[in-house]
Amino acid sequence: MRWLVLSLALLASPALAQQMADGKADVSVAAPAWAKDAGPVLAIDAAHKNFHTIDGRYAPFAALARNDGFQVVGNDAPFTEASLAKVQLLVMANAAQDLRPDEIKAVRAWVEDGGSLLIADHMPFSRAADGLARAFGFQFESSFAFEPVRGPELFSRANGRLADSPVTPKDINAVYAFTGTVLHAPPAATVVMRLGAGWSILYPTEPWKFDGVPSRPSDDKDLRGALMAVGKGRVAMFSEAAMFSAQRQAGDKTMGFNYPPARQNKAFILNILNWLGGAP
């Protein structure tokens, strides 16, 4: 409950209020996976006090998915067997409200029966997603992961942080993330993005207050993203949510797939969605 209160307070803070969807972001798709509105139904969650929603900071993500042929809708209802039956791909980004045990059970059963789930999450919200992630053997830490010089984070084949996977074919060789936490994955998962050595993992009791907090060095078990098949369905977990967005901040700074050096982030996102959606 304490983290929920803190997270909601941060939602109203001037700094976070300056994060806005970039209405000028390039959301075009050169070769859509499906014809217009002929693809799977993709629901973006807003039922758990999410920081990113279909009409808010994930509006460019929603537009990108639509241009790939997905039928994109918002979700404002608790997860149940009935509500999930209308959806093929569920996206949950930075939820501030914990899921109830019955919701977690419903999502797990839905994935096993063929649904696909994408969780993109980080502090101070990772605590809410962790319960659902654990139902699939993953874990989101309540931590911040920082490089020695903080800023946009490069994951590339050259620096060893971007792994071969179904969503990173050889033409994807570098993607950017924008401050996240640590993801742990089960042995059956396929690693997509790995922190490796050289990061500091901090464990504050209050978000963004780091003086004197416990910390540790990162290692190869600390991940930024991973994939896994579960029954008839699929899950993708990423411990950073802004990389799927296109946002502008004070001073006209960009963050997400509109960040100029992140030239392959858009293709990376589409690969993830197409893998989850079972693109032909």
- All structural domains of the chain with their residue ranges: 2-277
Nearest to 190 by CA among 242, 152, 140, 235: 235
Model pLDDT for residues 116-137, shown as the tens digit of each residue: 999 998 777 767 889 999 999 9
pLDDT at 4 over 70: no
pLDDT at 40 over 50: yes
pLDDT of residue 1: 43
pLDDT at 13 over 50: no
pLDDT of residue 124: 79
Model pLDDT for residues 222-236, shown as the tens digit of each residue: 999 999 999 999 999
The Cα 114–Cα 275 span in angstroms is 13
pLDDT of residue 270: 98
The Cα 21–Cα 11 span in angstroms is 15
What does DSSP say about strands 233-238 and 116-120: parallel, antiparallel, or unpaired?
A: parallel
Mean pLDDT of 159-186: 97
Strand partners, 209: none
pLDDT of residue 208: 85
Q: Which two tokens stand for residue 177?
A: 């993330």
Model pLDDT for residues 66-109, shown as the tens digit of each residue: 999 999 999 999 999 999 999 999 999 999 999 999 999 999 99
Confidence of residue 252 (pLDDT cuts 50, 70, 90): confident
Sole residue written with tokens 């874990």:
139
Mean pLDDT of 186-194: 98
Is the separation of the CB atoms in 275 and 166 below 8 Å? Answer: yes
| Assigned superfamily of 2-277 | Class I glutamine amidotransferase (GATase) domain (3.40.50.880)
pLDDT of residue 273: 98
At 24 the three-state DSSP class reads coil
